[in-house]
Structure 1
Amino acid sequence: MQVREPDPSAASLEPRLAATVLLVRDDPFQVLLVKRSAIGSFPSRRVFPGGVVEKQDLHEKWRSLCRGGDHLNDADIAFRIAGIRECWEEAGVLCTVDGELGGLSDARSDDLLSLVERCGAHLDLGHMADFAHWVTPPSAPKRWDTRFLLARAPRDHVLCCDGVETVAADWVEPKVALDRDADDMHGLLFSTRANLQLLAMSDCVDDALEAARNRPLIRVTPSATRKDGRFLVSIPAEAGYPVSEGWVAEAPRL
């Protein structure tokens, strides 16, 4: 897998590789949502932590700094590293197996690879599973090839937004997040809502991880049809979502 520098002229042709993490915990069963700042991608939206795959996520050193990933190829590892990195950068949550991790609040500016090496820690890929794979339609002005990953949250963590990309973060039950969506002036992105609906079919972290590992990973490319000033967004029924279409008030950004 290669990561290329973005070419604005080719944005509609070549989607950028990205990773998004559904970070979950039990008692009660909740998922982490962050609120984007008013500027940048998806302004003021509540989304799962995530972002583009960067060159550092492909570094060869990662294999010796990870556990539970022996069955994964380099591309799979890079997506997982990107997702873990984004959770760390946007919400201050770092999934590790071991290592002295004290004083991390002073290390947010460090790149993840240097931080993990210095602390003698290992990233836990065994607590992650592929959840979904979405690709923005070719007609969109910006495109992403996004791997949605499901991950068990570490027990001892303190949420801490970076204040730049994200301004708030909270744990919420999937069904509660969906109920709130109707009253939120910004609403949820269609992809966020759809994956919350899929996650809400599970009752705990173990069930969600088992369901994800047993579910075929089907590439989802949504389509949108405009009617009466709104957009009907559709996804293939075989993708396994409880709902395969929904209305949005503005041109969908997926």
Structure 2
Amino acid sequence: MSESGASVRDASTVMLVRDGDSGIEVFLQRRVKGMAFAAGVTVFPGGGVDAADGTADIAWSGPEPDWWAERFATDEKTAQALVAAAVRETFEECGVLLAGPTADSVVDDSARYRDARGKLERRELSLAEFLTAEGLVLRADLLRPWSNWITPAAEPRRYDTRFFVAVLPSGQIADGATSEAAQVAWQTPRAALASWRAGEHVLMPPTWSQLDALCGFADTAAVLAVDRVVEPIMPKYSPGPGGRPLSDFPDNERYFDELPRLGALGGR
């Protein structure tokens, strides 16, 4: 349990990227204002791990759970659930399916699974049941481990979130057909950060940090090639003028220097 008394839930977030005319583009969602966590802010697709995500009967291609467990400093069962949740949440929230009929293929049009997508989102169907029924293989090799952020201890809702990166599969389209997103867009990381600095949307530190890191890559091939060392980051609140600024995360001073003056939204 944390200082707030809230338990910490495992979660997965996927930075979906593609190559555009102006460089790397990343898929971003603005969460609906009625959400219990991070309402109205701009995020990557993702969400909490479900108990069913850890099932052992998922057809799997790519690095095995022990490989992911080592990268994310966790046990194999949790690692499998994190990867499964990353695939499930990406499909639920933007319709992109990181799976294929064979271990070395990926579906070229996920729209045919629209009904199953709705059932997954409503928790009427598990990822393993869906993949088995459709004869699909989870493509763990299309994902890369990226970072690990833990919600500050004082917050009432807390997540131990592992960030992944994946390239948009050829032929698939990312959409906004989810109850959790009010707006979606492909943007270059630099453009997303510029519009944040202009006060046009809200970025929490984890999202800001990942966008900032992506600015350093010329194309998606370079992103996939990088061997990231994943170390847990848990910001904390530090007393200071004008509120409770966060500290103990990379470049926290620069984040607050660039943060638009949004009153109570600042840093949250």
TM-score, structure 1 normalization:
0.83
Please list every run of 5 or more consecutive structure 1 residues that lacks an aligned counterpart in the other structure: 1-6
Question: Aligned to 1:109, which of 118, 137, 150?
Answer: 118
- Report the Cα offset of residue 17 of structure 1: 0.7
Q: What is the aligned residue count?
A: 237
Q: Give the distance between the partners of 1:190 and 1:144, measured in 2 at CA.
A: 14
Question: Aligned to 2:221, which of 195, 206, 214?
Answer: 206
> Which whole-Å deviations, capped at 9, do the CAs of 1:111-161 have from their partners, x for residues lacking one?
332222222111211121111011122222221111111112211112232
Confirm or deny: 8 A CA contact 1:224 1:252 kept in the other structure: no
What secondary structure sits across from 1:12 in the alignment?
Answer: coil
> Which whole-Å deviations, capped at 9, do the CAs of 1:36-62 have from their partners, x for residues lacking one?
112112122110011110011101112
What secondary structure sits across from 1:108 in the alignment?
Answer: helix
Question: Aligned to 1:140, which of 137, 144, 155?
Answer: 155
- Report the Cα offset of residue 13 of structure 1: 4.4
| Counterpart residue identity of residue 190, structure 1 | P
Confirm or deny: 8 A CA contact 1:96 1:154 kept in the other structure: no
Q: Give the distance between the partners of 1:234 and 1:96, measured in 2 at CA.
A: 38
Question: Aligned to 1:166, which of 173, 181, 192?
Answer: 181
Q: Give the distance between the partners of 1:163 and 1:75, measured in 2 at CA.
A: 26
| Counterpart residue identity of residue 229, structure 2 | P
TM-score, structure 2 normalization:
0.79
**Quick one: structure 1 residues 206 and 74, their matched pair in 2 at CA, closer, same or farther if it must change by over 3 Å?**
farther
1:84 counterpart = 2:87: yes
> Which whole-Å deviations, capped at 9, do the CAs of 1:18-48 have from their partners, x for residues lacking one?
1111111123311111111121121221100
Q: Give the distance between the partners of 1:128 and 1:102, measured in 2 at CA.
A: 21
Q: Give the distance between the partners of 2:29 and 2:235, measured in 1 at CA.
A: 23
Instruction: Output the aligned Cα RMSD.
Output: 2.4
1:97-246 correspondence runs (5 A): 97-98=100-101, 103-110=112-119, 111=125, 112-211=127-226, 213=227, 215-236=228-249, 241=250, 243-245=251-253, 246=255
Runs of 4 or more, structure 1, over 3 Å off, are: 9-13, 99-102, 248-253
Identity %: 27
- Report the Cα offset of residue 234 of structure 1: 2.4
